[in-house]
Amino acid sequence: MELKRKLVVAVTGASGSIYGIRLMRALVAHPVEVFFMVSSAGQGVMAHEIGKMDQPLERFLKNSGARFHKQAAVFEIDPEDLFAPIASGSFRHDGMVIAPCSMNTLAAIASGVTGNLIHRAADVCLKERRPLILLPRETPLSLIHLKNMYRLAKAGAILLPPCPGFYNRPQTIEDLVDSVVARVLDHLGLAHDLSKPWKGKGN
């Protein structure tokens, strides 16, 4: 039987909110509790790129094609609510993913400035030595961006830039997105069939 996980997922205002939504769709196929936040900029970018989240989270995900495991539950949290349980290290969970992660949020976490619940929850993951997976999106990268990523990698975060692989010969945007989300699920230790692992030439 698969162990039930508690995870935190945040979407920030970098391009690529589709990664966060695709990740949520994949996560709820497992026995999970997911605490989900979208930054204010993230809401704007998401509305522009894939449409406004104008329904309660569970319904929104189901309407986007998610199939919920019978033990899956999602909770939408206000990213300004610094009184939420995930603001405290005493609230145990299994890790956090920020998909996509803006350079603003990256900089805040790298410098320990916790101006909102997304920054604070990430800060808690680092101090509690819990998995923190960041999908930083910007191009090109300045020295400041690179230094922030370096600091975060040194502090234990996993930097997983949304750079799709092409070795599985993707046909659609969804294939490209899935190849990135597959790597996130691999790091969380969750089974998936989103993307085939490379097995050498001829496969």
Ligand X SMILES: Cc1cc2nc3c(=O)[nH]c(=O)nc-3n(C[C@H](O)[C@H](O)[C@H](O)COP(=O)(O)O)c2cc1C
Judged by the rule CB under 6 A, the positions of this chain that interact with ligand X are: 12-15, 39, 41-42, 45, 48, 102-105, 137-138
Q: Which residue is nearest to ligand X (CB)?
A: 13
- In this structure, are residues 38 and 23 in contact, taking their beta carbons and an 8 Å threshold? no
Tally: H helices and E strands in the chain: 7, 6
Nearer to ligand X, 72 or 110 (CB): 110
Minimal distance, residue 50 CB to ligand X, in Å? 12
Nearer to ligand X, 14 or 152 (CB): 14
Minimal distance, residue 194 CB to ligand X, in Å? 22
> What gap in Å lies between CA 81 and CA 83, rounded to an integer?
5
CA 172 from chain center: how many Å? 21
Minimal distance, residue 42 CB to ligand X, in Å? 5
Neighbour-count burial of 12, counting CB atoms closer than 10 A to its CB (0-12 exposed, 13-18 middle, 19+ buried): buried
Nearer to ligand X, 14 or 66 (CB): 14
Nearer to ligand X, 7 or 109 (CB): 109
Neighbour-count burial of 149, counting CB atoms closer than 10 A to its CB (0-12 exposed, 13-18 middle, 19+ buried): buried
Minimal distance, residue 179 CB to ligand X, in Å? 18
